[in-house]
Structure 1
Amino acid sequence: MTPQNPLDTIRRLSAAVLAVSRHLATDEVLQTIVATARELIGAEYAALGIPDGAGSFAQFLVDGVSDEQWAAIGPLPRQHGMLAVMLQDPAPQRLPDIREDPRFGWWPKAHPQLDAFLGLQIRDDDEILGAIFLANKPGGFTADDEELLGVLAGHAAIALRHARLYERERELAITRERNRLARELHDAVAQKLFALRLTSQAAADLLRRDPERAHAELDQVAALAREAAEELRSVVVELRPAELEEDGLAVTLRKHVEVLDRVNLTAGGPRVRFEGADVKALSPAAEEVLLRVAQEALHNALRHAGATTIIVKLAEHCPAGTGACGGALLEVADDGAGFDPAAVRRAGRSLGLVSMRDRAKSVRGRLDVASAPGQGTTIRLEVDRGRAA
């Protein structure tokens, strides 16, 4: 039902507009716009479609349809009937009954029955980004409804434009990171591998005629191999988590650990293992902090611990005594030499702990370091879902 209080209308419209400016995920913004349009204008159903360029829709968001109904309807619609009209004809489509329009096509058996209809294009200058439509308002839609829906369609266009710009920036960032990584590999690793190849060839030539010199060359081969592995490990640790948004925290962490484990295996270093599953409903900032703290802790363990095994664990955070779970718990534990945290502070060394604590504070998390000489080290980070939001 359309709100009677004008202030209520302004508040709801303001919430939809603010959703665009708060840099929420594009799906969240568009879903807010669809729900707001349905509620403000008093329609039974609302939907917003983004074409995929191949005759169907890349996204199709609805409001007023239950999950069971949506599942029964089946695959996303293709561009036929009035959906095709809205993507081709710039004129608003305001109809007393969609079923009586000669351009109406059909809908699946489980589709809700529509009558009164209002649809508008979502445009960015001359480019058609999608379409938004409402259906089933008692008494039909008015010119005022059309104007209000036009405002919301304009904000949907802003959200989609922001999403495109973000994706372009992300692609540029990935390209820049790949170029940086290529330079790092060439400058730091490739040169050592070249020296390694020359030294191993020299050792092979000396093996028969001067075994003693060959032995010295082989010692140099081993040293170069360790240095190359260390350089490669450093590059991997610093690699930007471009896949975090797509793969999620657990998959990204697992991939990172697997790469480090392969690098260490070839160099005779410690085994690196990952245990855990994805943690839901964390903010992007919290996910990046968890990943960066894990990377820093791994870097410390690989460089300083002298461990045989390093285990990275990720789980949902379930504080003792609360009976509830939410947020994330990260642990990076090694069985290495350990250290005295107090002595490290007194000596003015940080081992990256200051950076990790600062990252944890940025999402109101709690970082604990448990270590003692000869007893290994465990870095533990707790991030509560509500505190980190």
Structure 2
Amino acid sequence: MKDSPRSGELLYTQERMQGLMAAVVSIGVELDLASVLKQIVESACTLLHAGFGALGVIGEEGGLSHFITVGIDPELAARIGPLPTGHGVLGLLIREPRPIRLPDLRNHPASYGFPEHHPPMRTFLGVPVRVRDTVFGNLYLTEKENGELFTTEDEDLAVALATAAGVAIENAKLFDDSLLRSRWLEACMDVAGRAMGSGSTMSSGRAGGESGPDLVAARAREVSGADMVLIAVPSDDGGPSYIAAAAGDGAGAFRGRPLELDAAVVRRVLKSGGPVALTAAELMGAGQGKAYGPALAVALGSSDMAHGVLIFLRSPGAGNYSAAFLDMAGLYAAQAALALELVRTNRLREQLVVLTDRDRIAKDLHDVVIQRLFAAGLSVQSLGRLTDNPTAVQRIHAVTGELDATIRDLRDTIYSLQESAGNVELLSSRILRSVRNATRELPFAPRLYLAGPVDTAIDDVTSAHLLAVLSEGVSNAVRHSGAETIEVTIAVADGRASLLVDDDGTGFGAPAHRSGLANMDHRARELKGSLSVESAPGNGTRLCWSVPLPVPVPGV
């Protein structure tokens, strides 16, 4: 007995429903969003016997931000060129999110045509994919096998699959968001833990550790996947910002250098207290920003605890930052700012301990040691009245002279310690005073330029050498050059401190006395730096003294 047509239809329907269930199950197996999207397209092609399939994700601007394809191998895709962005029939489905079934895609009025090397496509079926009440994207299927047309039943199956896909996509997005939050929280704990456990190492970057800003930038790039992460410290006068840290390929082109950022945008970021999404061109200008696309800027701390602006940069064409990303980036910036503030507080506390100890030592020297030396000097001096031996008297005078010199040296040391303990003067102020003292005899005022974090990046040892070389270099220009202009530039960049002294004086071929230059060269070599002097008779002199800094970057 032969099967009736009715039983054949039931069997066919049952097979298709089983195929739909298998497709739904395969979609639900994946948790990663990218894998889910790929599986949706593959399942749709298998279920509806389509030669090619794609899923276009709708971006915030209304076009296609992502386009996942099946049926076109990577080599052919590369020859075709850029992926579709939402023109033609694809754009029609974006504007009117309802199923579209066409016998010949090329004959539709909205057809946009195909680029060179694109495989021929005739039959077409497109359905929207909704996540709750929002259209997430569209599922496209073309070239049903054996040249057949897509049927009404195919459309119903595609709609049912798209509905299941919406649920799977929502679950995958939730899963991705949970992973993202977990990674961000781990980064927050890492930065905070290092700040509390090894504050001095985090601050200075010594003993193989990273500096505070470097660590913050590096961990932010690891969890964000951004192409570049910067920490910019805005200048007080509205000039270029200083890049305190950078992480990413080509970070050396940014780290330790000035960078022109839109002052209005920076003020908005610092004032808002939350992440500000924009483009790299809006933040950095068309020149620097052309290498990057979406940008995100968030303040590192409140206005009274500012450590700069944390900047995320993605490549051109990359997707915008999700709401979960914005939330976690803001939380990370707040935690990082607290860690940097903790490091700075610890460093100030350590400095206070040192200064307090200096004050105690000064008091002990003054109240105990000097009094004893003075008493010993009087006792030795009184011995001179008990003898007429010239040799003995001469020896007694020599001893008392040595005691007097020792007392004077101790007093100088005491004054130095008390000054250090009671008044921590900025290096820039000491530089200004040194230049003024060395140029008092000049009928004109020299030009002084300071670039970079001079007051915070240069340590005490380097400062002492720098001031000595500055005084010697400027004094030489004043006494010997006969210059009409003298320019002094002190800069901190790329982990080095540099001093330039330029004058337009008489210059020299070979200096007659090299003791001053030898001292400056010795100070440079002691810090593993260098000294160069360029001069010629009648063409002025340029002195360049440059040394590496043990502290890479300021900011904490």
Larger CA Rg, structure 1 vs 2: 2
Interval of TM-score (by shorter of Structure 1 and Structure 2): 0.3 to 0.5
Give the TM-score, by structure 2 length: 0.34
Give the TM-score, by structure 1 length: 0.47
